Structure 1
Amino acid sequence: MNAERPTRILPVIVLSQFAGTSLWFAGNAVLPDLQRELGLAGNAVASITSAVQLGFIAGTLVFAVLAIADRFLPSRVFLACALLGAIANALVIATPALAEPYPAILALRFATGFFLAGIYPVGMRIAAGWYREGLGNALGWLVGALVLGTAFPHLLKGLGQSMPWSTVLASLSIIAAAGGVAMVVLVHDGPYGVKGSKFDPRAVFQIFSSRDLRASAFGYFGHMWELYTFWALVPLLLAGYAAMNGTALNVPAWSFAVIGAGAIGCVAGGYASRTAGSAKVAFAQLSLSGLCCLASPLAFLLPAPFFLAFLVAWGVFVVGDSPQFSALNAANAPKALVGSTLTLVNCIGFAITIPSIALAARLAERLPLEWLFVPVAVGPALGLLATRPLCIRNKQ
Structure 2
Amino acid sequence: MPNSRFRSLSLLLLAEVAGMSLWFVSSAILPDMIREADISSLRQAALSSGVQAGFVVGALVVAFFGLADRFDPRRIFALSAVLAGLVNLSLVVSAPGSTSAIMARFFTGALLAGVYPVGMKIVVGWGRKDRGFLVGALIAALTLGSAFPHLLALAGGANWHGTVVAVSLAAVLGGLLCLLVSLGPYHAVAPRFNPQVIATAWTNRRVRLAYAGYLGHMWELYAMWAWIGLASATSYALTMPEDQAVRLATITAFTAIAAGGLASVLTGLVADRIGKAEVALIAMLVSGSSALAAALTFGGPAWLTFVIVVIWGISIIPDSAQFSALVADHSAPEQAGSLMTFQTALGFALTIVTVQVTPMLATAFGWPLVLAGLALGPLFGCVAMLRLRSIL
1:315 aligns with 2:313: yes
1:241 aligns with 2:235: yes
Q: Which amino acid aligns with 1:153?
A: P
Displacement, 1:377?
Answer: 1.8
Deviation by residue 1:118-153 (Cα, 9 ceiling, x = unmatched): 111222333344546644322211110000101110
- The answer (yes or no) to whether the contact 1:300–1:370 under 8 Å persists in 2 is yes
Change (3 A) 1:280 1:70: closer
1:49 aligns with 2:44: no
Q: Which amino acid aligns with 2:102?
A: L
- The answer (yes or no) to whether the contact 2:76–2:114 under 8 Å persists in 1 is yes
1:187 aligns with 2:181: yes
Tell me the distance in 1 between the aligned counterparts of 2:8 and 2:354: 37
Deviation by residue 1:93-116 (Cα, 9 ceiling, x = unmatched): 1112xxx96111111001101111
- The answer (yes or no) to whether the contact 2:24–2:147 under 8 Å persists in 1 is yes
- The answer (yes or no) to whether the contact 1:261–1:316 under 8 Å persists in 2 is yes
SS at match of 2:22: coil
- The answer (yes or no) to whether the contact 1:67–1:199 under 8 Å persists in 2 is yes
Match for 1:352 among 350, 353, 359? 350
Which residue of structure 1 aligns with residue 81 of structure 2? 82
Displacement, 1:349?
Answer: 1.1
Change (3 A) 1:34 1:196: farther
Which residue of structure 1 aligns with residue 21 of structure 2? 22
Q: Which moved more, 1:297-306 or 1:170-179?
A: 297-306
Match for 1:272 among 252, 270, 273? 270
Q: TM-score, normalised by structure 1?
A: 0.90
Which residue of structure 2 aligns with residue 342 of structure 1? 340
1:218 aligns with 2:216: no
CA RMSD in angstroms, aligned pairs only: 2.4
Change (3 A) 1:28 1:197: farther
Tell me the distance in 1 between the aligned counterparts of 2:281 and 2:42: 32
Q: Which moved more, 1:150-159 or 1:40-49?
A: 40-49
Q: Which amino acid aligns with 2:316?
A: V
Displacement, 1:188?
Answer: 4.8
Displacement, 1:334?
Answer: 6.1
Deviation by residue 1:291-322 (Cα, 9 ceiling, x = unmatched): 11222222225422222111110001111111
1:91 aligns with 2:85: no
- The answer (yes or no) to whether the contact 1:155–1:255 under 8 Å persists in 2 is no
Which residue of structure 1 aligns with residue 2 of structure 2? 2
Q: TM-score, normalised by structure 2?
A: 0.91
Q: Which amino acid aligns with 2:201?
A: I
Specify every segment of 5 or more residues in structure 2 that has no aligned partner in the other structure, as ranges: none
Q: Number of residue pairs matched?
A: 388
Match for 2:139 among 138, 143, 162? 143
Q: Which moved more, 1:243-252 or 1:54-63?
A: 243-252
Displacement, 1:197?
Answer: 5.8
Tell me the distance in 1 between the aligned counterparts of 2:207 and 2:221: 21
Which residue of structure 1 aligns with residue 170 of structure 2? 175
Change (3 A) 1:87 1:43: same
Which residue of structure 2 aligns with residue 384 of structure 1? 382
Tell me the distance in 1 between the aligned counterparts of 2:28 and 2:137: 24
Tell me the distance in 2 between the aligned counterparts of 1:198 and 1:223: 32
SS at match of 1:373: helix
Tell me the distance in 2 between the aligned counterparts of 1:192 and 1:336: 10
Question: Deviation above 6 Å: which 4+ runs of structure 1?
Answer: none
Identity of aligned residues (%): 36
Which residue of structure 2 aligns with residue 106 of structure 1? 102
Specify every segment of 5 or more residues in structure 1 that has no aligned partner in the other structure, as ranges: none
Tell me the distance in 2 between the aligned counterparts of 1:278 and 1:132: 13
- The answer (yes or no) to whether the contact 2:68–2:338 under 8 Å persists in 1 is no
Q: Which amino acid aligns with 1:225?
A: W
- The answer (yes or no) to whether the contact 1:200–1:337 under 8 Å persists in 2 is no
- The answer (yes or no) to whether the contact 2:22–2:168 under 8 Å persists in 1 is yes
- The answer (yes or no) to whether the contact 2:125–2:183 under 8 Å persists in 1 is yes
Change (3 A) 1:293 1:59: same
Displacement, 1:258?
Answer: 1.0
SS at match of 2:98: helix
